[in-house]
Amino acid sequence: MVVIGAGQAGLSVSFYLKRLGLDPGKDFVVLDRGPSTGGAWQSRWEALRIGSAHHINDLPGMDELGLSFETADRHAPAKAVVADYYERYEAHYGLDVIRPAEVKNVFNRGTELVVSATIDGQPVETVTDVVVNATGTWGSPFIPWYPGLNDFAGRQVNPTEYVSAEDFAGQAVIVVGGGTSAIGFLLELENVASQVTWVSRRPIEFNDGEFDIEAGAAAVALQDEAARSGRALPSIVSGTGIPRTRRIQAGIERGVLVAKPMFSSIETDGVRFDDGTFQKADAIIWSTGFRPELRHLAPLKLREKEGGVTVGAGSSWKDPRIFFAGYGPQASTIGANRAGRQIARQVVALLSNL
């Protein structure tokens, strides 16, 4: 069998597969696109720290290594901390992740299920009984269309392209989005850009509790309902709100974290709002979320006309050989760990019946 992706979800599934008696490299292989360990975290911007990001839960069995994100270095870049912990984790449990491995397609050849990938620049095909897709969303940023989108003469970036606030020094920047990433960009740019404007399609809801996706039961339930019905997945943060930490509250009081309603159109050198007012801009940062990265599964025709894939308890309802880890209600790090155990048990049961 093949696990695609070695982020939180993929490593969680791999851990439980090994615990249930499957041998990494022999009974299953893990393919990962990244050049190094850390999943999507290795690609995140340098200034992001563990304490300012969403809560990162430990991988199952991480305590055996004496590691925990609860006690991780809050001053080091999050990308470096996660990459280090994941590297030690993979080595300790002997998961033998193959990288860089870019999965191009998963398709049927007669009755065979085939994974086509490029490994170290060479094309490789693997015939398998089961695929666990754990590709997450980082490779598929979403930018909504607005009139004039392609006419803007300035720079447009999404979170995967953002490197440093210094890249926007002295510029007028518009940050679009209502989540924690948008807030992080705003606070980093505050004293670097000449002007920073925050716009959001919905009013920002701040809450006084610690951010915890699992506590947002209603938001997770909406994700589960959408996954089971094959609809596009809704935003988690729209149902959980933003934690009003001291850092965020200070930003609100300074006037940095006060969002304007969404603009209605984009012009060559700025944006136009519904009331006719114009805001000059040298750059637009689209922190508008991500979509599940599923293009490589297109040959299997799993996508519904509603825009998503139908998934229940981690398994595709159209093809029981395809499992989804870290999809929909499993998107939180706690959810990914729970799904890892559940999916591993189902995979072992399925393989036993073949």
pLDDT, tens only, 2-32: 999 999 999 999 999 999 999 999 999 999 9
pLDDT averaged over every residue in the chain: 88
Where do the domains of the chain lie, and which CATH numbers do they carry? Answer: 2-139+290-353 (3.50.50.60), 149-208+244-286 (3.50.50.60)
End-to-end, the C-alpha distance of the chain in Å comes to 12
> Residue type at 19?
R
Could you list the beta-strand ranges (E) of the chain: 2-4, 29-31, 101-109, 112-119, 122-128, 131-133, 155-157, 172-176, 195-200, 206-207, 242-243, 260-261, 265-267, 270-272, 278-280, 283-286, 311-312, 315-316, 322-324
What average pLDDT score do residues 56-69 get?
93
Q: What is the largest CA-CA distance in the chain?
A: 65
Reported as a single tens digit per residue, the pLDDT across 239-251 is: 457 878 888 899 9
181 Cβ neighbours under 8 A, 6+ residues apart: 159, 287
| CB contact at 8 A, 288 and 142 | yes
- The fraction of the chain above a pLDDT of 70, given in percent, is 87
Q: Which of 299, 315, 351 is nearest to 129 (CA)?
A: 351
pTM here is 0.83
In this model, does residue 257 exceed pLDDT 90? yes
CA–CA gap between residue 306 and residue 140 (Å, rounded): 18
CA–CA gap between residue 314 and residue 326 (Å, rounded): 8
Is 5 exposed, middle or buried (CB count within 10 Å of its CB: 0-12, 13-18, 19+)? Answer: buried
Per-range mean pLDDT, top range of 144-148, 228-232, 238-242, 309-313: 144-148
Q: How confident is the model at residue 208 (pLDDT cuts 50, 70, 90)?
A: confident
Question: Can you give the pLDDT at residue 240?
Answer: 55
Q: How confident is the model at residue 280 (pLDDT cuts 50, 70, 90)?
A: very high
| CB contact at 8 A, 88 and 69 | no
In degrees to the nearest 10, what's the CA dihedral of 108, 342, 135, 229? 70
CA–CA gap between residue 17 and residue 14 (Å, rounded): 5
In this model, does residue 53 exceed pLDDT 70? no
Question: Can you give the pLDDT at residue 311?
Answer: 85
What average pLDDT score do residues 103-125 get?
96
Provide the edge-to-edge strand list for the sheet that holds 283-286.
155-157, 283-286, 172-176, 195-200, 260-261
Question: Can you give the pLDDT at residue 66?
Answer: 96
What average pLDDT score do residues 255-280 get?
96
Reported as a single tens digit per residue, the pLDDT across 303-352 is: 887 767 888 878 898 999 999 998 755 554 445 667 789 999 999 999 99
Helices (H), the chain: 8-19, 78-93, 180-189, 217-229, 237-240, 246-254, 333-353
Question: Can you give the pLDDT at residue 231?
Answer: 56
> Residue type at 338?
R
* H-helix or E-strand spanning residue 170: none
More reliable by pLDDT, 30 or 40: 30
Q: How confident is the model at residue 116 (pLDDT cuts 50, 70, 90)?
A: very high
Question: Can you give the pLDDT at residue 211?
Answer: 46
Question: Can you give the pLDDT at residue 139?
Answer: 87
| CB contact at 8 A, 52 and 211 | no
Which residue's entry shows tokens 């990265």? Answer: 293
**Beta bridge partners of residue 316, listed in sequence order:** 311
What average pLDDT score do residues 257-280 get?
97
> Residue type at 264?
S
Q: What are phi and psi of 15, to 5 degrees?
A: -60, -50
What average pLDDT score do residues 112-138 get?
95
Q: How confident is the model at residue 214 (pLDDT cuts 50, 70, 90)?
A: very low
More reliable by pLDDT, 167 or 179: 167
Reported as a single tens digit per residue, the pLDDT across 80-99 is: 999 999 999 999 999 999 99
**Buried-exposed string 188-218: b where 16+ CB fall within 10 A, e elsewhere:** bbeebbeebbbbbeeebeeeeeebebbebee
Question: Can you give the pLDDT at residue 213?
Answer: 45
Question: Can you give the pLDDT at residue 215?
Answer: 46
Question: Can you give the pLDDT at residue 242?
Answer: 82
Q: Give whole-number Cα distances, 146 to 174, 221, 232, 267, in Å.
A: 14, 30, 20, 10
Q: Which two tokens stand for residue 345?
A: 């048990």
Question: Can you give the pLDDT at residue 304?
Answer: 82
